[in-house]
Every structure is written in structure tokens, then in C-alpha cells.
């Protein structure tokens, strides 16, 4: 039964990136030295930090929706499994952005995650188009 793991991972990922959003709010509004954070808000690590937050929440919600629809629609089991795993792999994108910001790692996870999510959405769209409902 494909989909449950997407829903679970999606909600947990959403929780993590919502907490991360509160950290970003703290850094912008309450932290000592917040003026420096605000001055650099639209460039470099500050911008990438916000990109990770936005994409983390978006990809979490996409996984929740994918999981729910995989449980409800009669998608071919092979396609359902691939769509499920590709959607989960898509969550590597925001983790990759964070790893760039925090550790200076190369953007490999960003590319793998982004490509995985795009492929999963396209595959799901094609699978849904072929349904005889």
C-alpha cells in the first residue's frame, strides 16, 4: 500500500521546516546582531536559508498530497512505488540547500532532489491521465 510513508515523512518534514522557519524569524527579529542578518537578508546564505525553508515546506506538502492520492487512486503498483520513492527523494533538495549553507557541501543533493521531484510529478500526472475512472 504505497502512500503512507509519503504522508508520514511529509508531516515530519513539514514539522522540521516549520521549526526552522521559527529559527529564521528569531534570527531576523530577536537575535543579537539582527541588524547584520537583516542587512544581508536577500543575498548569500540568508537567501539560501529561506529557499531551504520554502522548498522544505512545499516538498513536505507535495509528499502528503502524493501519499494521499496514491492511497486513493488505482495507480499501477509499479508506478505507485516509483512515484512514492521519487517524491521522497525529492526532499533531498531542501536538505541539500541546508547542507550547502551549513557545511559548504556541493549542490549534488539539490540536483538529485529537484530532478526526483520533477520526475515524480510528471510520472504521477501521466499515470493519472491513463486512469479509466
Confidence of residue 128 (pLDDT cuts 50, 70, 90): very high
pTM: 0.93
Q: Are 100 and 107 in contact (CB under 8 A)?
A: yes
Q: N- to C-terminal Cα distance for the chain?
A: 20
Please report, for residues 11, 31, 56, 57, 133, the alpha-carbon distance to residue 28 in angstroms, rounded to integers and kept in the order given.
26, 7, 19, 19, 50
Exposure of 14 in the CB half-sphere (CA atoms within 13 A): 14
Asked if pLDDT for residue 72 goes beyond 90, the answer is yes
Residue 132 CB: number of other CB atoms within 10 A? 4
Confidence of residue 52 (pLDDT cuts 50, 70, 90): very high
Q: Which set of grid coordinates corresponds to residue 6?
A: 509519503
pLDDT digits (tens, 9 = 90+) for 95-108: 999 999 999 999 99
Using DSSP's 3-state secondary structure scheme, residue 68 falls into helix
Asked if pLDDT for residue 121 goes beyond 90, the answer is yes
Asked if pLDDT for residue 37 goes beyond 90, the answer is no
Using DSSP's 3-state secondary structure scheme, residue 91 falls into coil
Q: Which set of grid coordinates corresponds to residue 114?
A: 529537484
Q: Are 51 and 97 in contact (CB under 8 A)?
A: yes
Only one residue has cell 550547502, namely: 100
Amino acid at each position: 500500500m504505497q502512500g503512507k510513508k509519503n504522508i508520514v515523512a511529509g508531516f515530519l518534514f513539514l514539522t522540521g521546516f516549520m521549526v526552522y522557519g521559527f529559527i529564521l524569524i528569531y534570527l531576523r527579529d530577536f537575535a543579537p546582531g539582527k541588524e547584520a542578518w537583516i542587512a544581508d537578508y536577500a543575498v548569500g546564505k540568508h537567501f539560501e536559508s529561506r529557499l531551504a525553508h520554502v522548498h522544505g515546506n512545499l516538498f513536505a506538502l507535495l509528499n502528503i498530497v502524493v501519499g494521499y492520492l496514491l492511497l486513493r487512486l488505482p495507480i499501477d503498483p509499479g508506478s505507485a512505488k516509483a512515484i512514492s520513492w521519487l517524491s521522497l527523494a525529492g526532499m533531498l533538495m531542501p536538505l541539500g540547500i541546508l547542507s550547502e549553507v551549513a557545511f559548504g557541501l556541493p549542490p549534488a543533493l539539490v540536483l538529485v532532489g529537484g530532478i526526483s521531484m520533477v520526475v515524480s510529478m510528471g510520472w504521477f500526472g501521466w499515470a493519472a491521465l491513463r486512469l479509466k475512472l
